[in-house]
Amino acid sequence: MSVTTASPGTFSHIGYVLRGNPVTLLSFVMFAILIIAAVLGPVLVPYDPLASEAANALQPPSWAHWFGTDNLGRDVFSRVVTATRLDLMISISAVTLSLMAGSVLGAVAGYWGGWLDAVLNRVMDTIMAFPLFVLAMGIVAALGNTVENIVYATAVINTPFYARLVRAEVNIRREAGFVHAAKLAGNSDIRVLAMHIFPNALPPMMVQMSLNLGWAILNAAGLSFIGLGVRPPTAEWGIMVAEGANFIVSGEWWLAVFPGLALMFAVFTFNLMGDGLRDIVDPRQRT
Amino acid sequence: MSPRLRGILFRIAQAIPVVIGVVIIGFVLTRALPGDPAVYFAGAAADAASIAEIRKTLGLDLPLPQQFLIYVGDLLRGDFGQSISTGQPVTADLANRLPASLELTLVALLLSCAIAIPLGVMAATRPGSLIDHACRVLVTAGVSLPTFFTGVVLIYLFYYLLGIAPSPLGRLDFIYIEPDRITGFYLIDSALAGDGETFLAALRQLVLPAVTLALFTLAPIARMTRAAMLGALSADFVRTARAAGLTGRTVRYTYAFRNALLPVVTTLGMVFSFTLGANVLVEKVFAWPGIGSYAVEALVVSDYAAVQGFVLAMAFLFVALNLLIDVTYTLIDPRIGFEAS
């Protein structure tokens, strides 16, 4: 990062964009709320998310239970807040994994080219040839139905986006003047690639990461909605919507609606933030 | 050979490595991953001897390359294996259930195109107007919607609160008899049979799931239409057309819109991929008997062959569709060739 963005104008530019675009500021505030819920949530919630109380089942929202209680009498508010940590953990670790894998693959392919590049492109094309959610289902089914495998599956389906992005960014710079200069100064190929060329790809990567976090959460919640990965009674948004869906036809809406809204809130935050980051990183691409 | 035909053939040739890759991934998912299918197929009560025997009948004791050849041979014969839960060949199951999914997907895509394309065009022709802002909000909110959640909310609103939607269970209420199978699409079959009542009943069941899927696909289509239309409107040929004194309408629709349509068609291919994934979730919410809910049922009982067959079938469908879109392209726009890419 420091190589490309630490010029003195950067912070004033960020400030300028934030002032001009309060929506981006809002998205940062929303992101902070999510992080607080993830870090402190389990401590702050009024009830144990797993403690059932049969006498108090299916109560509509009230002062005692802000989001009502579910069919086992568990407090929906506590469960929704507690679930933030798991959902964010799944998506952030998946996106981090795909970021790392994509960066290495893309940088190598973009810098050295040749048959490596050709093979990598074909592999990425093949992954993209699958409807991605369906491929994730297949991977989880093959690897086994656990939370870690949800992370791996989500990482695999997101890797092509990073690999392509890094490849393009590295490829256009491999003959640049500063690269030749760095090589003449005696830097090895790997060092030039890692320290001089790769950092240029980071700003667009941040945008991609933010957007991907939204997809990753949707993807993970979707997988647990169809019964993969997270198992009951764990609190997780997708599975809570799935459990709540059984009660929606009899009118107990709060079981499914609140976790669904939390999920939407998270995805919306990451999408807004991605658009905002794009304005900061690349003002030309503003839409 | 005309250059256009050569272009199309070249594009078809490009699809071959992707298909090979898909087959390899399918093989890796079935064989090379941890977990022993023989133990799985033998069942819980099997001893070592019967596992070894099953390993032999399944060909799992052969070296991997040889297994791969057998696997490819099976696929070429259309043999995706046997589903454990239904006892049928996976191919037959998929063929049986595919029309339900396609009917839902196509109706949803038609619906979302009918809304998103005019919306995108209007947003682009009146930048900064109310409709432009509405379009922008819709685009950002639309991509944040979890399909399964939209479906649940729609059921609550239209089935429970308003009572105007039928119960969200399948393609047809149980009091109606399925129309005779001609295409497998209930809407078309009942219309062909001249059975208006069944047609309406099928349509009523279809509305909510189709709207759910359409809401999901609205955002990318509207976004792309708006961007493509903005690009086309600022192009030189539009300025020339305006300068030549053509009416605003002719410029917008004959000149700009037709040129903006190409990227929209490309986006449709991508959207179709999302829709195939989202289908799985929507089918689960509405108990829709398509291939998506087939895969979910198979997942629940770890019916391996069925899941793999589903994943492969989806991938082949998607590759074929992209091929079709690209080939259609050369027919729409003579400038497009596939020489260098």
* CATH number for the domain that contains residue B250: 1.10.3720.10
In A, which residues are within 8 Å of B219 by CB distance?
none
pLDDT of residue B60 exceeding 90, the answer is no
From the list B168, B276, B311, which residue is nearest A138 (CB)?
Answer: B311
The answer to whether the Cβ–Cβ distance between A134 and B310 falls below 8 Å is: yes
- Inter-chain residue contact B22 with A228, CB threshold 8 Å: no
Instruction: Select from A126, A256, A257 the Cβ nearest to the Cβ of B21.
Output: A126
Q: Closest Cα of chain B to A191: distance in Å? A: 31
Q: Do B25 and A137 touch (CB under 8 A)?
A: no
For A114, the token pair is 């040749």
CA–CA dist A264, A247 (Å, integer): 20
Candidate from A1-10, B130-139, B284-293, B319-328 with smallest mean pLDDT = A1-10
Residues B156, B257, single domain; the answer is yes
Q: Is the residue at A59 inside a domain? A: no
User: Do B68 and B106 reside in the same domain of the chain?
Assistant: no
Q: Do the Cβ atoms of B149 and A264 come within 8 Å? A: yes
The predicted-structure confidence for B234-246, as pLDDT tens digits, reads as follows 888 888 888 888 8
pLDDT bucket at B190, cuts 50 / 70 / 90: confident
Q: For position A1, what pLDDT does the model report?
A: 39
Q: Across residues A104-111, what is the average pLDDT?
A: 88
CA distance A82 to chain B (A): 19
Asked if the Cβ–Cβ distance from B311 to A127 is below 8 Å, we say no
B215 located within any domain: yes
Six-digit token string for A69 = 């209680």
Model confidence at B128: pLDDT above 80: no
Q: Could you tell me if residue B135 is inside a domain? A: yes
Residue A278 tokens, joined: 């794009």
Q: Give the model's pLDDT for residue A174.
A: 79
> Do residues B47 and B168 share a domain?
no
- How much is the pLDDT for B340? 40
Answer yes or no: is pLDDT of A93 > 90.
yes
Are residues A220 and A150 in contact, defined by beta-carbon separation less than 8 angstroms?
yes
Q: Closest chain A residue to B312 measured between Cα atoms? A: A130
**Cβ-Cβ contacts under 8 Å, B160 against chain A:** 248-251, 253
Arithmetic mean of pLDDT, A103-108: 89
B31 and B167 part of one domain? no
Q: Is residue B88 part of a domain?
A: no
Identify any residues that bridge with B82 across adjacent strands, giving them in sequence order: B89
A135 contact B CB<8A: yes
Cβ distance A227 to B299 less than 8 Å, yes or no, reads yes
Do residues B99 and B72 share a domain?
A: no
Nearest CB among A127, A143, A251 relative to B33 is that of: A143
How much of chain B, in percent, has pLDDT values that exceed 70? 91
Based on the fold, state whether residues B266 and B167 are members of the same structural domain: yes
**Residue A58 resides in a domain:** no
A176 touches chain B (CB under 8 A): no
Min Cα separation A136/chain B (Å) = 9
B21 CB neighbours in chain A (<8 A) are: 122-123, 125-126, 129
Helix (H, G, I), strand (E, B) or coil at B78: coil
Instruction: Report yes or no on B174 lying in a domain.
Output: yes
* Same domain? B67 vs B113: no
Bridge partners of residue A69, in order along the sequence: A75
B84: in domain = no
Confidence (pLDDT) at A284: 54
Which among B141, B160, B307 has the least Cβ separation from residue A141? B307
Q: What is the pTM of this model?
A: 0.82
Q: What is the pLDDT of residues B35-54, one digit of tens each?
A: 566 666 666 666 777 777 77
Q: Give the residue on A whose Cα is nearest the Cα of B284.
A: A226
Say yes or no: B188 and B148 in one domain: yes
Residue A211: pLDDT band (50, 70, 90) is confident
Q: What is the distance between the alpha carbons of residues A38 and A36, in angstroms, rounded to a whole number? A: 5
Collect all residues of chain B within an 8 Å Cβ-Cβ radius of residue A80.
none
pLDDT at A248 over 70: yes
State the residue range of the domain holding A178. Answer: 10-47+67-285
- The verdict on B69 and B113 lying in the same domain is no
CA distance B217 to B113: 9
Torsions phi, psi of B179, nearest 5?
A: -70, 155
Kindly state the helix (H) or strand (E) to which residue B261 belongs, with its residue range: helix B258-285
Average pLDDT over residues A120-126: 84
Q: B44 with B159, same domain?
A: no
Residue A52 located in a structural domain: no
- Phi first, then psi: give them for residue B333, nearest 5 degrees: -120, 105
Total count of domains within chain B: 2
CB B281 within 8 A of CB B268: no
The pLDDT assigned to A71 comes to: 75
Cβ distance A138 to B308 less than 8 Å, yes or no, reads yes
* Domain co-membership, B193 together with B264: yes
Tell me if B317 sits within 8 A of B260, measured CB to CB.
no
Mind giving me the DSSP string for A11-44? HHHHHHHHHH-HHHHHHHHHHHHHHHHHHHHHHH
CA distance A63 to chain B (A): 24
What is the domain-level CATH number for residue A214?
A: 1.10.3720.10
Count: domains in chain A: 1
B140 and A141 within 8 Å at the Cβ level: the answer is no
Query: Is B332 contained in some domain?
Result: no
Q: pLDDT category, A96, cuts 50, 70, 90?
A: very high
Residue type, A197: I
User: Do B224 and B110 belong to one domain?
Assistant: yes
Residue A166 lies in a domain: yes
| Full domain range(s) for residue B152 | 94-300
Q: Which residues of chain A have a CB within 8 Å of the CB of B277?
A: 131-134, 222
